[in-house]
Amino acid sequence: MTGGDENGRLVIEGLVADGLAVDRLTIGAGEAWCLIGGNGSGIGPFGELIAGEPIRYHAARLDLPAAAGVLSFKRQQSIFEAELRKDDTDYLGRIDPGTPARAFVPDIERHRHLVDLFALDGVLDRGYRQLSSGQARKLCLVQQLCLGVALLILENPYEGLDQAGCRDLDRVLAGVHRQGIGLLLLVNNRADMPSWCTHLGAFANGTLVIQGQRSSVLAGIEALLAGQRPLFQVSVEELRGERRLDAEKMPGDNLVTLRRGFARYEDIEVFSGLDLTINRGDHTLITGPNGCGKSTLLQMITGDHPLCYVNDLSLFGRRRGSGESIWELKRHMGIVSPDLHRNHRVAGSALAIVVSGLFDSIGLYTRPSPAELQLGRRWLRRLNLAHRAQQSFLRLSYGEQRLILLARALIKTPQLLILDEPTQGLDEANRRALLDFLARLAAEDLATIVYVSHRTDEYRDFFRQRICFEPRHSSSPASDEKPSTEGGGRLTSHGPAL
């Protein structure tokens, strides 16, 4: 890599890396570029390379700006892992919140407008680990915008943000561009291509195949993306009979009952007064802005939040805290969430992570049988990732990791499928394929689905009920939202969700 350009220019010539080839790319100072590519197109390793990740490559020329800011899922993961290493909870005898959010914003009063714009004022004194995935993403965006960079490189910046957050971010980035700061956005979906970007490009088959001014290349990019084929090609018919014999259905139709549910962090209320019933076939959509408690609610259901023991909560007809084993309950659940994704920091191959779903562990610590390994390989073939079977999970692209975690959740055909923003990192072909698969799964009554999403294009007809977190209309700093049945929300039960 040659010396950085002081003016914010990026120049690449003759670049070759594993799964990536770029003949030439020049991004001028102050230009606004958006590069798009599907999962497996080459955009993943390209993003890692320009973000400074340690990957092998050869290039005749590679000039990155000396003052470049980067926001990526891997950069967020590195912050999260650093915070875990500093966790002194065991020594303090109380929960160590870690580094407060305000420490991530340099000269906070000078940048107060950004803090207010992204509704972060109420969480500045929370530790980074206590933030929702969307709040953490907003915080990292504000941090990068405050650094005075010449080029800002953003990987899927709209992923994980609620709709208002996406609109606010779009306005901010357009303003950054007007100030003469260069922007390079790497996205997987056409809906995430901003209208203000002056230049576009597209990856396919490991190559940057189209690039240029927006007006001259947009039609070609649209045609290229229209021909995308998903990696996720799973047939519901194949899943019949694959349920493990020791994971037969729990008796009864009631899967989840929560009465007057509440959640808080210390003395800060997140939500309260939530009544929820999920019976078999009650496919449930959960919506609402970042930080309103959606993920906390799911963590209570999965047993990954201590509030599950103090709430009036029953799973599969059994009251939590009545002596039941969480592992017995988790045998009947499949889970995908940003939190689960963040916690997969363990060494292990793609195949091992898929098979670990049979044992509900993060990492594989039980020797699987030949039949279990064969089932894991079958799932990798369904994802068109069989060639990645022995590759480290941590070396896969973010989108490939998310597909692997989906296979981990589905491998045992669970009764209760809990999906928190499952399409993060997936291109539109894979999003559509997953949602079509879930629709068939619901129609065949193979699982009951609980699904969190910020994206209106993911609201499908198979959802029977919807929990909608709405503004709490108060001055409380805890959250912008309050759920469902009391104080500003609603729960539409056992009828059309949409």
The percent of residues above 70 in pLDDT, for the chain, comes to 90
254-265 and 312-315 strand pairing: antiparallel
CB 479 within 8 A of CB 293: yes
Give tens-digit pLDDT for 80-98.
Answer: 888 888 887 767 667 778 8
Q: Could you tell me which residues are beta bridge partners of residue 100? A: 127
The percent of residues above 90 in pLDDT, for the chain, comes to 52
Give tens-digit pLDDT for 259-313.
Answer: 999 988 777 788 889 999 999 999 999 999 887 889 889 999 998 888 888 999 9
Give tens-digit pLDDT for 203-250.
Answer: 999 999 999 999 999 999 999 999 899 999 998 888 876 765 445 666
Q: Could you tell me which residues are beta bridge partners of residue 246? A: none
Give tens-digit pLDDT for 403-455.
Answer: 999 999 999 999 999 999 999 999 999 999 999 999 999 999 999 999 999 88
CB 17 within 8 A of CB 193: no
What is d(CA 354, CA 373) in angstroms, rounded to the nearest whole number?
Answer: 9
- Domain 10-226 belongs in CATH node 3.40.50.300: yes
Neighbour-count burial for 259-269, b at 16+ CB within 10 Å, e otherwise:
eebbbebeebe
Task: Tell me how far the alpha carbon of residue 339 is from its chain's centroid.
Answer: 9
Give the domain 236-492 fold: Rossmann fold (3.40.50)
Q: Is residue 169 within a helix (H) or strand (E), and if so which, with residue range?
A: helix 163-178
Q: Which among 411, 437, 442 is positioned nearest to 423, based on CA atoms?
A: 437
For 350: left if phi > 0, alpha if psi spans -120 to 50, otherwise beta; the answer is: alpha
Owner of token pair 């965006």:
141
Residues of the chain with CATH 3.40.50.300: 10-226, 236-492
Q: Which among 24, 18, 25, 2 is positioned nearest to 56, based on CA atoms?
A: 18
Q: Could you tell me which residues are beta bridge partners of residue 70? A: 153
